[in-house]
Amino acid sequence: MRPFCTLSLSLLAACSAPQITGTPHYTLLEPRGDVGFATGGNPLAETTLADLGIAGEESAIGAQLDLLWGSPHLTLATQAASWEGDGTLSVDFGGISASEPVSTQFDLGVHRAYLTFDLAPTEAVELGLGVGALVFDVNATVTPDSGLVAAENVDELVPVPVLTARAGGRVWKLDLGATVAGMTADVDGNEASVLDLDLNARYAIFGEHGSFHGALVAGWRSTHIGLVYDDGVESVDLDATFSGPYIGLQLGF
């Protein structure tokens, strides 16, 4: 009886102690897409992000924390990037007229919290489903070079609930993984959709899972944001994707 109790307590302790990994990472993000902004009931027309001066790859510094205990797998991650550039509007943008040269400062932070539950019966394979949240921290200022009208500014913190799926597998020292999270909603004619995709590979450089270990990480991430919004005062139509490769160093125990 005593050996059985000892074994049961050992298994319970193993299940309750999570595997923890932390991964600082460096990403090159490139924005692509269109955006429209109108006020006061004026017609809404889209211009490209490049027309606003939001173009080209920019570095994004971030970090990710993963906690895995038995079936549950929790991921907490954050990253931030900034773009600054000049462009010429092809359509009216708020109170700024078409053909107006503008200067744009655009800051984007993306924060992620994903909780999935592994359905695979083996440690070598992960197949999880769950829920989570994406939080977009947007701060953008579009300034007309002429100075004849005021700059247009957006400063918003937007949380979005998502459904999440995760898949991965381990072969020798190489772990391959994929995480996808998304949501589409339509409320009173206002539409929103997000799709966040992360593909990655981790190559073990020392240690083993279950003890202190380290791995080199390389991957590709893409985040799509779609929004059609009209509250009678402001109208927004956004269809944009921010994507690019990243590298990092994972440490865990």
Question: Tens of pLDDT along 135-172?
Answer: 999 999 999 999 889 999 989 899 999 999 999 999 98
Contact 101, 145 (CB under 8 A): yes
pLDDT at residue 108 tops 50: yes
Structure-token pair, residue 120: 């695979």
Contact 225, 134 (CB under 8 A): no
Higher pLDDT, 164 or 234: 164
Of 17-21, 62-66, 104-108, 177-181, the one with minimum mean pLDDT is 17-21
Contact 250, 214 (CB under 8 A): yes
Strands (E), the chain: 19-39, 46-48, 58-68, 72-88, 101-118, 125-144, 152-171, 174-187, 190-206, 213-230, 234-252
pLDDT of residue 4: 41
Distance CA 226, CA 251 (A): 35
| Nearby residues of 134 by Cβ (< 8 Å), 6 or more positions away | 110, 111, 112, 159, 160, 162, 181, 194, 196, 223
Structure-token pair, residue 242: 């921010």
- Paired with 76 in beta bridges are 65, 113
pLDDT at residue 97 tops 50: yes
Terminal Cα-to-Cα distance of the chain (whole angstroms): 32
Q: Identity (one letter) of the amino acid at 244?
A: G
- Paired with 32 in beta bridges are 241
Q: Please tell me the CATH code under which domain 20-252 is placed.
A: 2.40.128.90
pLDDT at residue 202 tops 60: yes
Write the DSSP string, 2-18. Answer: HHHHHHHHHHHHHHHS-
Structure-token pair, residue 210: 């279950």
pLDDT at residue 1 tops 50: no
Band of residue 16 on the pLDDT scale cut at 50, 70, 90: low
